[in-house]
Amino acid sequence: MSDKHPSRTAVIALGGNAITLEGQSGTYEEMLANCQAMVKSIAAIHEAGWRIVITHGNGPQVGNLAVQQDEAELLVPGQPLYALGAMTQGLIGHLIETALLNERGHDIGSIVTVVTHVDVDPQDPAFGNPTKPIGPFYTLGQAEERSARTGQPIVEDAGRGYRVVVASPRPRRVLERDAITSLVAQGFMVIAGGGGGIPVVDDQGTIRGVNAVIDKDRAAALLAAELKADALVLVTGVDTVLLDFGKPTQRELNVVTADEMRTHAQDGQFPAGSMGPKVEAAIDFVDARDGVAVITSANLMSAALDGLAGPGTHIVRSVRS
């Protein structure tokens, strides 16, 4: 990335499953090492002059905390799920900050983590239909035993085992938007909206938390639109979005309009349990902001922001000749 873009802002959404990889138990050392690997591209983007806001998922981490709470209930009071979300914002923010400082020998500029609350609708139908997997994978027997003990529903998740699911309402408003905007304008690299934000509702003038986990890609798209960002980068495990995945007609999507992406989604190209939420979030951002949404891997996100000719899948309002 040769050209400096000091006035451009990118919101980068990292996955909680990239912070605790499949097969890992989620030790502190594992998570820090995974963050260290991911921030190389973020540091390169910052070095190129972009203002950066980092968001992240927390599915494995908040689920592990929930297990700890459940197991220690006889010794210390358990905390509600939304409080566990706040805890993961602090922990993962610390891990990303530490990794960034180590990557550039403490010369990455000013970094700050903002504990972030996100308003949701108390009547959101998601509260009656939990779909968001959190925590570790279980065998069917383990999952059924846990569900019987805690009352939490379980689902089979992508052929890898069974997980607890919780409600995932749509985000409506980032309460700390003005503070984050001010920090970005002052040149801070901001980590915000962790785990999709702490879900809260306005109960007749009183803000209260609700037990749910907001999809981090949806929250990132909302935050990017509210910040008037130029780019939304959704980091995933593949370099590009694929059409006809696993079929002889499989092909990469490089530059595609939001309307074309919407048609592909309606045709069932992007399952809800995998690429669907990212595609939906990308379309939401482009519709709201007319910026570019990029879906790519952590290793390629720096090159992907170099322009539409770069790697990854770029979703735009229209393709200009």
The closest of 53, 79, 80 to 216, measured between CA atoms, is: 53
> Distance between CA atoms of 278 and 220, rounded to whole angstroms?
10
Q: What is the C-alpha to C-alpha distance for residues 285 and 288, in angstroms, rounded to an integer?
A: 5
Burial class (CB in 10 A: 0-12, 13-18, 19+), 265: middle
Q: Which residues contact 278 (CB under 8 A, 6 or more apart)?
A: 217, 234, 236, 270, 295
Q: State how beta strands 292-297 and 313-316 pair.
A: antiparallel
State the amino acid at position 100 in one-letter form. Answer: L
- Residue numbers annotated as active site: 16-17, 132, 216, 278
Looking only at the bridges linking them, the beta strands covering 162-166 and 154-156 are antiparallel
Of 264, 274, 267, the closest CA to residue 315 belongs to: 264
Q: Whats the size of the chain, residue-wise?
A: 321
